[in-house]
Amino acid sequence: MATYDFLFDNLGLRAWCDAGKTGDGPLSMADLLAKANGPKEASIWDLPFPSLDALNDACGRVAQSRDLTKGVENAFLAVKNPLQFVLDPITQPLSWILEFALYTFDVTPWWLMFPILMLVVFLASRSFRMVGLVVACLGFLALIDHYDYAMQTLAIIFVCAFLCVLMGVPIGIAMSRSNTLQRLTIPVLDMLQTLPAFVYLIPLIFLFSVTEPKLYGIAIILYAIVPVIRLTDLGIRLVDEEVIEASDSFGMTDRQKLFGVQIPLALPNIMAGVNQTIMMSLAMVVIASLVSAPGLGVLVLRGIRNLELGVGLVSGLGIVLLAIILDRVTKAALNRINAAQKN
Amino acid sequence: MLHRKIKAGSALTNSVKISIRDLYKVFGADPQTALEHVLNGASKADLLEQYSHVLGLSDINVDMRESEITVIMGLSGSGKSTLIRHLNRLIEPTQGRIEVDGDNVLAYDEAQLRTMRREVMSMVFQKFALLPHRTVAENAGTTLKVRGVAQREYLLEAHKWLSRVGLEGFDKHYPHQLSGGMQQRVGIARALTSNAPIMLMDEAFSALDPLIRTDMQDLLLELQTELQKTIVFITHDLDEALKLADHLVILKDGQIIQQGEPQHILLNPNDTYIEDFVSDINRARVLRVRSIMTTLDGTNAPSNAHGEVDFDDTLESLISTSGGDTSHTYLVMRDGAPVGTLDMKNLVKALVPRAASEAGARKY
Ligand SMILES: Nc1ncnc2c1ncn2[C@@H]1O[C@H](COP(=O)(O)OP(=O)(O)O)[C@@H](O)[C@H]1O
Ligand SMILES: [Mg+2]
């Protein structure tokens, strides 16, 4: 006896329901519990919501909720192979690049790495204070033997942020030139930005092998590419109308205008996007340790899994230090550009 | 006393450089249909209210002559910017003809248009429109850089014109390090560097302080006596218009309500709108001897003249020469030869504002 029997009886669908009955479907947990407790007196307080499962009890023709999850899974598995066939070769270079970067950061000795990073920081920020900050932070991490982990994290961020900029800036430029494209792209960007970070990993785990670096590479890039696209689009759209008009009036070609005027004037916004992209890469690379991304995130994960409080907290501090130096250095570079363009 | 540059006398003989015929511009979703309504007599207000299209320009006919400054004047929203942007096709007309040196500009394809913008016309903007990330010299050289001139060459040319507009030694500065007046000098240098015969100036001095503005006007006139460009200058300021114009075009709601020699318009305004405009003007400072003198017409110079004045002198300077004595008569000289006489009584009459303007003046 099921609660909603009366519904199908009154609608005259009983025969249809019974005809479709192919014996009881698999029992749900609730069914088992009900069996164990014996028949209960029906009361208005126990009235179940007419969900798929409740209706299925009354009429075998109605699908069960578990069929939905099963259906999604089957659909996904059905497209998995063709999708893999296409995506695997395309994304393979990402694995190579990540492996190469991890390898390079690994084999470069610290006494070579420090000067290189100092030089990069100085070129970006033109500030000795910034170089000092970076040396202090990295020096501390090295002192507590977190240097290798920090370098792995940095390597992944460098690669992913670089690829984000490489792809995001052209996409942003294309968006700024076409309102249609902008309208089509913004919902996708909104979705990428609102999806919880973990959800990125689920379809990717199915598509790619967990042992491959490209799995987390793709997750990080999808998550972190949004701000650089948005801000490139915005930056180019915000370029002073009169300057664009002037460029046209001097007979600039579209190319001259794009590279000589629009991109340079949008650079402060683009750099703000790059800053955010780097910070989001860092956030994602920690989460991606769930799918075998190396680096400080692995230690955090160990802290959680094994309840090793100290390990988790110290590596968390390491991530904060990395975040600080990445943020400060990119902001310093941004300020330098802003100062040069002050109107 | 303001020092004024004396303009080339009668320039009517100059050939037509830019000719605009029957030009209409309607902004909106379906300008062609809306234009039909305009041609059938709908006004700017009608068009906006009933068909939600904006009438930008209506029935514009202007000849802009070589080596002259044509000033287009009107209140804000009267269509001045729209008009000047038609000349280099930053805005495309809905209907009409535009010819430069007898060539139909509207028939140009993209490459021809670009060539014209690079070599024939250069533009100066109200808010300067300099590139903030480039140095002053790089900015001034933009017009040559666009054409593919080598950097060393265009920086040299830019340097030359920067010195010419009074910015010697600022080559390596950035625009934000300069005052507004200096930035606009860069804007002018940039237009001059292109060596184009036509210069378009959209409210080029409107963003500047009054004193700096006067300096810039003087600079422009000084450059003009030497360079003899065809200049299209836009302003909403009548003083500026009268100071610069060889040919004055007055726009209102997208239509030309009067055009001609500025002194002539000042003495014979044909519309209350213009009378209102000119009623606030210091007539003595603007009117010139040549506009109100009595021509000699072959008769000999009278012997009783109290002195000689130049053809292009302002009435203000003559009043101070005469010490305010209205009984004097002066002999008007042009290029050293007598061309007319001026009775001080006529001068006083010319200073009387038109009666109709008195009432109208209060409206604004
Ligand atoms: N792109 C446009 N779309 C719609 N209306 C416009 C556009 N550009 C100018 N207008 C209208 O055309 C008229 C003239 O504008 P404009 O030429 O800028 O005037 P001005 O330069 O004399 O102040 C104004 O009513 C303005 O609102
Ligand atoms: Mg304007």
Q: For A183-240, what is each residue's pLDDT tens digit?
A: 999 999 999 989 888 888 888 888 888 888 999 999 999 999 999 999 999 999 999 9
pLDDT > 80? residue A173: yes
Would you place residue B338 in the very low, low, confident or very high pLDDT band (cuts 50, 70, 90)?
A: confident
The whole-number pLDDT of residue A25 equals 56
Would you place residue A327 in the very low, low, confident or very high pLDDT band (cuts 50, 70, 90)?
A: very high
Interface touch A340/B174, C-beta < 8 Å: yes
Would you place residue A16 in the very low, low, confident or very high pLDDT band (cuts 50, 70, 90)?
A: confident
| pLDDT tens digit sequence for B90-104 | 999 999 999 999 999
Mean pLDDT computed over every residue of chain B: 89
The whole-number pLDDT of residue A204 equals 86
Question: Listing from the earlier edge strand, what are the strands of the sheet with B247-252?
Answer: B121-124, B198-202, B230-235, B69-73, B247-252, B255-260
pLDDT > 90? residue B118: yes
Interface touch B174/A343, C-beta < 8 Å: no
In the reported structure, the alpha carbon of residue B57 is separated from the centroid of ligand 1 by a whole-number distance in angstroms of 9
Would you place residue A42 in the very low, low, confident or very high pLDDT band (cuts 50, 70, 90)?
A: low
Q: Quick one: tokens of B293? A: 């003198």
The whole-number pLDDT of residue B363 equals 45
Kindly tell me the burial class for residue B226, based on how many C-beta atoms sit within 10 Å of its own C-beta (0-12, 13-18, 19 or more).
Answer: exposed
**Contact present, B18 and B64 (Cβ < 8 Å):** yes
The whole-number pLDDT of residue A152 equals 95
Would you place residue A107 in the very low, low, confident or very high pLDDT band (cuts 50, 70, 90)?
A: very high
The whole-number pLDDT of residue A24 equals 55
In the reported structure, the alpha carbon of residue B85 is separated from the centroid of ligand 2 by a whole-number distance in angstroms of 10
The percent of residues above 70 in pLDDT, for chain A, comes to 92
**Contact present, B291 and B264 (Cβ < 8 Å):** yes
Would you place residue B139 in the very low, low, confident or very high pLDDT band (cuts 50, 70, 90)?
A: very high
Measure the CA–CA gap between A235 and A163, rounded to whole angstroms. 20
pLDDT > 60? residue A343: no
Residue carrying structure tokens 């080559």: B171
Task: Please list every residue in chain B whose beta carbon sits closer than 8 Å to the beta carbon of residue A340.
Answer: 132-133, 174
**Contact present, B357 and B275 (Cβ < 8 Å):** yes
The whole-number pLDDT of residue B357 equals 44
Instruction: Considering only residues B250 and B326, tell me which one the structure prediction assigns the higher pLDDT.
Output: B250
CA distance, residue A181 to nearest chain B CA (Å): 21
Task: Please list every residue in chain B whose beta carbon sits closer than 8 Å to the beta carbon of residue A240.
Answer: 127, 129
Comparing alpha-carbon positions, the chain B residue that sits nearest to A342 is B176
Out of A3-17, B178-192, B221-235, least confident range? A3-17
Ligand 1 atom closest to Cα of B83?
17
Task: Please list every residue in chain A whose beta carbon sits closer than 8 Å to the beta carbon of residue B125.
Answer: 242, 245-246
CA distance, residue B192 to nearest chain A CA (Å): 12
| Closest to B288 in 3D by CA, of B337, B339, B336 | B339
The whole-number pLDDT of residue B154 equals 96
Cβ neighbors of B138 (< 8 A, separation 6 or more) are: B131, B145, B155, B158
Ligand 1 within 6 A of CB of B82: yes
The whole-number pLDDT of residue A38 equals 58
Length of chain A: 343
Would you place residue B10 in the very low, low, confident or very high pLDDT band (cuts 50, 70, 90)?
A: very low
CA distance, residue B130 to nearest chain A CA (Å): 7
Task: Compare CB distances from A249 to B90, B115, B133 and report the shortest one's residue.
Answer: B90
Closest Cα to atom 3, ligand 1: which residue?
B27
What is the mean pLDDT of the segment spanning A76-83?
A: 86
What is the mean pLDDT of the segment spanning A98-122?
A: 94
pLDDT > 60? residue B6: no
| pLDDT tens digit sequence for B26-49 | 999 999 999 999 999 888 999 999
What is the mean pLDDT of the segment spanning A73-96?
A: 88
The whole-number pLDDT of residue A35 equals 65
Ligand 1 within 6 A of CB of B80: yes
**Residue in B146, B198, B203 to test binding to A, most A beta-carbons within 10 Å:** B146
Measure the CA–CA gap between B227 and B242, rounded to whole angstroms. 20
Interface touch B129/A243, C-beta < 8 Å: yes
pLDDT > 50? residue A105: yes
The whole-number pLDDT of residue B279 equals 80
Cβ neighbors of B113 (< 8 A, separation 6 or more) are: A251, B89, B105
The whole-number pLDDT of residue A277 equals 96
Ligand 1 atom closest to Cα of B25?
12
Out of A102-116, A325-339, B6-20, least confident range? B6-20
Give the H/E segment covering residue B273: helix B272-279
**Residue in A240, A241, A244, A250 to test binding to B, most B beta-carbons within 10 Å:** A250
Task: Please list every residue in chain B whose beta carbon sits closer than 8 Å to the beta carbon of residue A267.
Answer: 133
Interface touch A264/B116, C-beta < 8 Å: no
The whole-number pLDDT of residue B220 equals 96
Q: According to DSSP H, which parts of chain A are helical?
A: 5-10, 14-19, 29-37, 52-58, 65-107, 110-125, 128-143, 147-177, 179-194, 197-207, 213-237, 241-249, 254-257, 263-287, 296-305, 309-341
Interface touch B125/A242, C-beta < 8 Å: yes
What is this structure's pTM?
0.83
What is the mean pLDDT of the segment spanning A159-185?
A: 96
- List residues bridging with B69 in a β-sheet: B231
pLDDT > 80? residue A340: no
Task: Compare CB distances from A251 to B85, B117, B131 and report the shortest one's residue.
Answer: B117
In the reported structure, the alpha carbon of residue A25 is separated from the centroid of ligand 2 by a whole-number distance in angstroms of 77
pLDDT > 60? residue B359: no
Residue carrying structure tokens 């947990």: A29
Ligand 1 within 6 A of CB of B185: no
Task: Please list every residue in chain A whose beta carbon sits closer than 8 Å to the beta carbon of residue B147.
Answer: 251
**Contact present, B57 and B79 (Cβ < 8 Å):** yes
Closest Cα to atom 21, ligand 1: which residue?
B81
Q: What is the maximum span of chain A, computed from C-alpha positions, in angstroms? A: 88
Task: Compare CB distances from B129 to A245, A252, A260 and report the shortest one's residue.
Answer: A245
The whole-number pLDDT of residue B272 equals 87
What is the mean pLDDT of the segment spanning A309-335?
A: 93
Tally of CB atoms within 10 A around A299: 22
Under DSSP, is residue B267 helix (H, G, I), strand (E, B) or coil? Answer: helix
What is the mean pLDDT of the segment spanning A155-164?
A: 96
What is the mean pLDDT of the segment spanning A289-301?
A: 92
Ligand 1 within 6 A of CB of B81: yes
Mean pLDDT computed over every residue of chain A: 89
Residue carrying structure tokens 């939600």: B52
The whole-number pLDDT of residue B251 equals 95
Comparing alpha-carbon positions, the chain B residue that sits nearest to A263 is B133
Would you place residue A156 in the very low, low, confident or very high pLDDT band (cuts 50, 70, 90)?
A: very high
Instruction: Give me the residues near ligand 2 (ion), CB cutoff below 5 Å.
Output: B 81
CA distance, residue A241 to nearest chain B CA (Å): 9
pLDDT > 60? residue B1: no
| Closest to A50 in 3D by CA, of A40, A62, A61 | A62
pLDDT > 90? residue B4: no
**Contact present, B257 and B273 (Cβ < 8 Å):** yes
pLDDT > 60? residue A150: yes
pLDDT > 60? residue B9: no
Residue carrying structure tokens 């240098």: B189
A246 touches chain B (CB under 8 A): yes
Tally of CB atoms within 10 A around B227: 14
What is the mean pLDDT of the segment spanning B139-143?
A: 96
Interface touch A265/B176, C-beta < 8 Å: no
The whole-number pLDDT of residue B2 equals 35
The whole-number pLDDT of residue B271 equals 86
